[in-house]
Structures are given as structure tokens and as C-alpha cells.
């Protein structure tokens, strides 16, 4: 149970937080704020999430590191090679 007036941040996965329940808790002031960079309906969150004045939205850039981009490139090249070597 969270204290009244607490805030919540989800930067893990969309769907971890029930967005309908989140907005209800914000509207009833059980929660004071939310920070989200992942959503149920990615890459386009609902208009209600976008317009809520107690929710701060940021772009999810978890794969934007050089290491992650290198790994993705290697995995993609492996998949292409496997496809053509069948």
C-alpha cells in the first residue's frame, strides 16, 4: 500500500501499471504524480495519459546506448544470415 500523496515512476515495461487505475488514483489524489516512459499502447499512449496534468511523459530510450545499438545490429545481421542460409 502506498501512502496518500506518493508518486510513481514506470520506466520498466508498459503494462506494469494499470493505466486506468493510475488515472483514477491521480484524480482521487491518492497519488500526487506519475512519471512514465512506457505505456500499455506503445508507441502511442492514450490521449487521456497524454493530457493528464499529473503525469509526466518522457521517451523510452532504453536501447539508445552504443552497446545496445551494437548488440541489436549484431543480432539483426545474425538473423539475416540465418534466413539466407536455410
pLDDT tens column, 23-81: 999 999 999 999 998 988 887 888 999 999 999 998 777 667 888 788 888 998 999 99
- Is 13 one of the catalytic residues? yes
In the block, which residue shows the cell 536501447? 63
Residue 19 catalytic?
Answer: no
Contact by Cβ (8 Å): 14, 38: yes
Evaluate if pTM is beyond 0.75: no
Phi, psi of 14 (to 5 degrees): -65, 145
In this prediction, residue 63 carries a pLDDT of 65
CB atoms within 10 A of CB 55: 20
For residue 34, list its beta bridge partners: 8, 55
Length of the chain measured in residues: 86
CB 33 within 8 A of CB 10: no
Does the annotation mark 83 as catalytic? no
Q: What is d(CA 36, CA 27) in angstroms, rounded to the nearest whole number?
A: 16
The residue annotated as part of the active site, out of 42, 48, 71, 75, is: 42
Amino acid at each position: 500500500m502506498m501512502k496518500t500523496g506518493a508518486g510513481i515512476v514506470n520506466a520498466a515495461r508498459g503494462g506494469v501499471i494499470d493505466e486506468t487505475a493510475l488515472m483514477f488514483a491521480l484524480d482521487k489524489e491518492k497519488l500526487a504524480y506519475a512519471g512514465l516512459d512506457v505505456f500499455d499502447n506503445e508507441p502511442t499512449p492514450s490521449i487521456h495519459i497524454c493530457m493528464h496534468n499529473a503525469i509526466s511523459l518522457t521517451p523510452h530510450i532504453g536501447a539508445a546506448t552504443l552497446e545496445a545499438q551494437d548488440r541489436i545490429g549484431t543480432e539483426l545481421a545474425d538473423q539475416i544470415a540465418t534466413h539466407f542460409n536455410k
